[in-house]
Amino acid sequence: MSIPSDLHDVLGDRRLLVLTGAGVSTDSGIPDYRGPTSPVRTPMTYQEFVRTAEGRQRYWARSHVGWARMWTAEPNATHEMLVAMQDAGRLTGLITQNVDGLHERAGHRDVIDLHGRIDRVVCLACREVTTRADLHERLAALNPGYESRVGEIAPDGDVVLGDTGDFVVAPCLTCGGDLKPDVVFFGENVPKDRVERSYALVAEAEALVVLGSSLHVMSGLRFVKAAHQRGIPIVIVNRGTTRGDPLASIKLEAGVAETLARAVLAG
């Protein structure tokens, strides 16, 4: 695959802010929502999760089955390249829309997990945060053999299942409240402090590189808009169009791993 000759001219030796999306994790076996070959999916919304016990039961049943596969995913070449770039002083920061924790597992430091982390659980009543590993053990004890069920794995780490009415949901051990994964659901706002920290990184960056994101939701697109307003170069690498394409200095219609990890940013 040829790389545009002007890409290195655009990036040069600038220190980069990187924004990553689901396309960075597909090589680790985690599917994305909006790739060219992705099926139409209907993710759980925040409103549905908090409104009904049935919605929470369906979410936790599917997520319990999918957890083992999600958390055994390993960082891929792109994660490792970004760690090497950080160690070489090429990055001013990294913002990820992914909740899988693979950047940190690869050794990246100070990642802004814009949409939270799937390995944490928060109580909607008392706001205590606990680990997903502990909850998984509790759910396994309450639902013996349930995790052996088979279904298609979905982007949020859950598995598509049929009837989940027999699944037993675990409450918060501290107050008995409802538990939710510590991630930003569709229809939920990104916490203000994460947004402010991300804008601060945009203000310091010399260029913005977007990897594997369709920028379909405003949570990531707003930082591309902020970079454009600053007049700094914007490079987008993604299979398929993105909402940020009109603002990009260069758009590469390509997979992240086979271009970025081997050639583009390393050059």
Active site residues: 115
Q: Which is it for the CA torsion 77, 83, 85, 87, positive or negative?
A: negative
Token reading at 128: 């205590």
- Helices 218-230 + 192-204 axis angle, to 10: 30
Q: Any idea how long the chain is?
A: 267
Q: Do residues 48 and 124 touch, judged by C-beta distance below 8 A?
A: no
Q: What CA–CA distance (Å, rounded) separates 107 from 103?
A: 7
* 184 HSE (CA, 13 A, CB side): 19
Contacts (Cβ under 8 Å, ≥6 apart) of 60? 139, 167, 169, 170, 179
Exposure class string for 93-121: b at 16+ Cβ within 10 A, else e? bbbbbbbbbbbbebebeebbbbbbbbbbb
Q: In what order do the strands lie in the sheet with 179-183?
A: 129-131, 116-123, 179-183
What one-character-per-residue DSSP string does 40-98 give? P--PPBHHHHHH-HHHHHHHHHHHHHHHHHHHT----HHHHHHHHHHHTT-EEEEEE--
Q: What CA–CA distance (Å, rounded) separates 35 from 135?
A: 31
